[in-house]
Amino acid sequence: AKNSNQSNNQLNGKVSNDDRRVEFFARKHRIAQQRKSLPIASVEKRLVEEVRSNNILIIVGETGSGKTTQLPQFLFNAGLCHDGKVIGITQPRRVAAVSVAKRVAEECGVQLGQRVGYSIRFDDTTSSSTRIKYMTDGLLLREALLDPYLSRYSVIIIDEAHERTVHTDVLLGLLKSVQKVRSGPINECANIDCMKANNGLLMEKENDAQRASILKQYRGIKLSPLKLIIMSASLDARVFSEYFGGARAVHVQGRQFPVDILYTRHPETDYLDATLITLFQIHLEEGPGDILVFLTGQEEIESVERLVQEKLRQLPEDNQKVKVLSIFSSLPSEKQMQVFMPAPTGFRKVILATNIAETSVTIPGIKYVIDPGFVKARTYCAHTGMESLIIVPTSKAQALQRSGRAGREGPGKCFRLYPESEFDKLSDSTVPEIRRCNLSNVILQLKALGVDDIIGFDFMEKPSSEAVVKSLELLVLLGALTEEYKLSDPVGHQMARLPLEPIYSKALILASQFNCLEEMLITVAMLSVESVFYNPREKLEEARTAAKCFSSLEGDHPTLIAVYRAFDEFLEKSNLGNSREKTEKNLRKWCKENFINSRALRHARDIHRQIRGNIEQMGLRIVSCGDDMLQFRRCLAGAFFLNAALKQPDGTYRVLSSGQGVQIHPSSVFFRTKPDCIIFDEFVRTTHNYVRNVTRIDYLWLAELAPQYYTLQEQE
């Protein structure tokens, strides 16, 4: 009801309480109608029965049929979360977890965080009354570290399983054995040794303290059986069913209207340009209906949005009635929700989306889909150990999902911006992420769960042994694992506890020895958010000048610290004796003048607070190195030693660990003046092989601070 009141307010100025009540009930009624008309509504009874009689169930259903939003409510109403237990639903994407939870809370008429809530990394809205909990698959995996039998849940729904993210794949393996434990005779005796004997999975003896604490947690608790539901949009139920020993699969019929598929005659050289042309062609020549455009990421979306607005202004006023909205993962959640609202009367809605809109979220009103045919995907080269995001053609399955979005409410059209002959060349489906990503993070978590034999783990699809070996080696080099590939004490355990990539965790732990933990905490928080610098294309020079006042000659990491501190200081100062509105206004002005993205900085502050909490729990002392950036840079070298690169005569760099040739990203303080030896945070492959967030180090530090790696190399 909150949203509708807001929009009403904007339209009419003041709204009386009566109007508000009328609007509230009208909306409630509308939502009830919408729910009733969803395809899944007619099979509620049958689905509940299926869940009752099967401990593992696979549900396949057309996108938009109501699986994600309705099934948890059906199960809740049927009493499947008795004794204060929770129904957990995982999503591969943060945006989906958040937007769906908000929607379901509204459908249930409860406040978010009460019966319905979501939990994603660094943002948990659940409370002890939460019974329907949406979360990312990565988060549930983390929860397993503290509660290996996921004893708080009576039902776990792995949603969007067809996405096959690495977290989903690992979870499936883990849940398979957790479920075995929870439905076996073990229920009678909640004795951890017995559990261990039963599945051989959890709790090796290597960490007595952790073992003891988990033992205590389970003492006297009778574990009840766990219901497991795997949901998927596409029709590959068979692989899931086979993996779960012939588990039962049910199909939910969807409604799909015919969609006309149109191809281009020739391949497009510039798909963004082709997108714009197609978009305006639809807008000017086709009947009413909203347009959904699939792009590959935030930057692309923002630049297309600018171009659309520019072109719109050149059209006659009558044709300007277009509302452009976007949805991608780092968009703040208030903005994400806007895409679901109907466009103002007479306006056409254009939604620029990443593949989030493929199956994770369903936006009403779409009649036209523009599909340039690309997607951003993670790739990992086990040989160099480098992971990057690159833009690749979609699979056939993705193309079909995308076009299907045009036919949910009536016949639609999909414009594929490539020739039909190209479609035939696409691969059938996407390769599971586990085959193309760096595994060190999940291996560390599996190790912390007591899974010692990674290669022997019951994966639905095994990762390549080369990638496993490379990731194990990395963890040994970082000191998280011993030479025998056991979790090291305390470093390995500490690293597994932090919700960060292993290399960041390592940097934090090392920083407590280098007396710069305060600086490293800020750095890690800043590296965990989108860019804090705002670089509008039309004011690029001004933005560069503004950024200069923060930039440090030592590198981008010290620069990020300077920005964070300046923001912090400003906030503290303007908080003093000012009203909230005044503070907000001041802050907006400050951010605008300094070309700073305040949203990213607030997010960084939030993350900082939470990691700080984790660190304090671990008993590490947070001290500052003051102005002594030397300590800080040495610490960075000690943690990021695998990301060290040396300048070549032509001004490019060579990564020492892999031999990969790279260039410094234009956003770096070192874009023009290039130091001899650097470490970097991230490898980005666009038109060039760029490295981003770069700091100057001394080459000699490497052998001193990372002898485990650099002496070895010299001997070779």
Task: Please report, as ranges, the residues that interact with ligand ADP according to CB under 6 A.
Answer: 38, 61, 63-70, 99, 103, 340, 362, 364
The two tokens of residue 138 are 């990565």
CB 326 → Mg ion: shortest distance, Å?
20
Nearest CB to Mg ion, comparing residues 92 and 138: 92
Place of tokens 């199960």: 75
Rg, Å, the chain Cα set:
26
Q: How far is the CB of 137 from ligand ADP (least distance, A)?
A: 15
CA atoms within 13 A on the CB side of 320: 10
Angle at 52 between CA 32 and CA 256, to 5 degrees: 45
How many Å separate Cα 394 from the centre of its chain?
19
696 binds, among Mg ion, ligand ADP, none (CB under 5 to 8 A by kind): none
Size of the site for Mg ion (CB under 5 A): 2
Q: How far is the CB of 7 from ligand ADP (least distance, A)?
A: 13
DSSP per-residue codes, 403-427? HHGGGSSS-EEEEESS-HHHHHHS-
What type of residue is 141? L
Number of other CB atoms surrounding residue 627 within 10 Å: 7
Which C-beta is closer to ligand ADP: that of 362 or that of 384?
362
Q: How far is the CB of 427 from Mg ion (least distance, A)?
A: 23
Nearer to ligand ADP, 161 or 503 (CB): 161
Q: Minimum distance from CB of 70 to ligand ADP (Å)?
A: 6
In the block, residue with structure tokens 């920083």? 511
Measured distance CA(150)–CA(505) in Å, rounded: 25
For residue 542, the minimal CB distance to ligand ADP (Å) is: 38
**Window contacting Mg ion (CB under 5 A); options: 67-75, 267-275, 315-323, 508-516:** 67-75
Nearest distance from residue 240's CB to Mg ion, in Å? 16
Q: How far is the CB of 409 from ligand ADP (least distance, A)?
A: 9
Which run of H or E residues covers position 87? strand 86-91
Cβ atoms of residues 470 and 385 within 8 Å: yes
- What does the alpha-carbon distance between residue 38 and residue 32 come to, in Å, rounded to a whole number? 10
Q: Which is nearer to ligand ADP, 356 or 678 (CB)?
A: 356
> In this complex, which beta carbon is closest to Mg ion, that of residue 170 or of residue 233?
233
Which pair of structure tokens corresponds to residue 379?
Answer: 């790739």
> x/- contact string, 8-47, with Mg ion (CB under 5 A)?
----------------------------------------
Beta carbons of 268 and 410 less than 8 angstroms apart: no
Q: Which residue is nearest to Mg ion (CB)?
A: 68
DSSP 8-state assignment for residue 297: S
- For 556-595, b where at least 16 C-beta lie within 10 A, e where not — what string? bbbbbbebbebbeebbeebeeeeeeeebeebbeebbeebb
Instruction: Using the rule CB under 5 A, give the single segment among 62-70, 166-174, 551-559, 620-628 that binds Mg ion.
Output: 62-70
- Region binding Mg ion by CB under 5 A among candidate stretches 64-72, 213-221, 548-556, 687-695: 64-72
Member of 68, 151, 401, 438 binding Mg ion (CB under 5 A): 68
By CB under 5 A, the residues from 113 to 142 that bind Mg ion are: none
Q: Which is nearer to Mg ion, 233 or 369 (CB)?
A: 233
Q: Name which of ligand ADP, Mg ion, none residue 364 binds, using a CB cut-off of 5 to 8 Å depending on partner kind.
A: ligand ADP
Q: Which residues bind Mg ion (CB under 5 A)?
A: 67-68
